[in-house]
């Protein structure tokens, strides 16, 4: 079986997903309706935040829609800290042809959120 997974933030980078050994069979643009991208996941190693999504009726998040074998979600979960940092949710998004698709994504758990932090600067 294959899974459809919506990535936002750094997981949109296909090289990052390849480094994480996610053997995706497709990757395309997706527009996640009714959500907003925020930097609110407190990093363990400093006063900066990673990306998160929150519901926001009139907004949208651009993301990457990956398709990969169901069994490989475990690899991604280990890197992302699921189930201790994120919860899984089903979302609806528009693919690059305007079709509505259901897919899984990760949303930061409330106890891992800290407001007012900025994203990590790339060096």
In this predicted model, what pLDDT tens digit does every residue of 77-122 receive, in sequence order? 999 999 999 999 999 999 989 999 999 999 999 999 999 999 987 6
**Cβ neighbours around 77 below 10 Å, total:** 16
Q: Single out the residue of 82, 94, 115, 118 nearest to residue 35, CA to CA.
A: 94
Q: Would the pTM count as exceeding 0.75?
A: yes
CA–CA gap between residue 106 and residue 35 (Å, rounded): 13
How far is C-alpha 61 from the geometric centre of its chain's CA atoms? 10
**Cβ neighbours around 105 below 10 Å, total:** 24
pLDDT at position 48, please? 92
Domains of the chain from N-terminus onward: 2-111 (3.10.490.10)
pLDDT at position 121, please? 72
Indicate the SS3 state at residue 110: helix
In this predicted model, what pLDDT tens digit does every residue of 14-63 receive, in sequence order? 999 999 999 999 999 999 999 999 999 999 888 899 999 999 999 999 99
pLDDT at position 123, please? 47
pLDDT at position 122, please? 61
pLDDT at position 51, please? 95
CA–CA gap between residue 98 and residue 83 (Å, rounded): 32
């Amino acid at each position: 079986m294959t899974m459809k997974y919506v990535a936002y933030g750094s997981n949109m980078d296909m090289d990052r997903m390849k480094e994480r050994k996610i053997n995706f069979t497709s990757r395309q643009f997706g527009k996640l309706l009714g959500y907003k991208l925020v930097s609110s996941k407190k990093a363990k190693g400093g006063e900066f935040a990673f990306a998160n999504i929150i519901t926001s009726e009139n907004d949208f998040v651009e993301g990457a829609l990956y398709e990969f074998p169901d069994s490989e979600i475990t690899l991604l979960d280990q890197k992302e800290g699921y189930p201790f940092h994120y919860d899984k949710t089903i979302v609806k998004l528009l693919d690059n042809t305007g079709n509505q698709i259901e897919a899984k994504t990760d949303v930061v758990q409330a106890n891992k959120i800290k407001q007012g932090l900025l994203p990590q600067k790339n060096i």
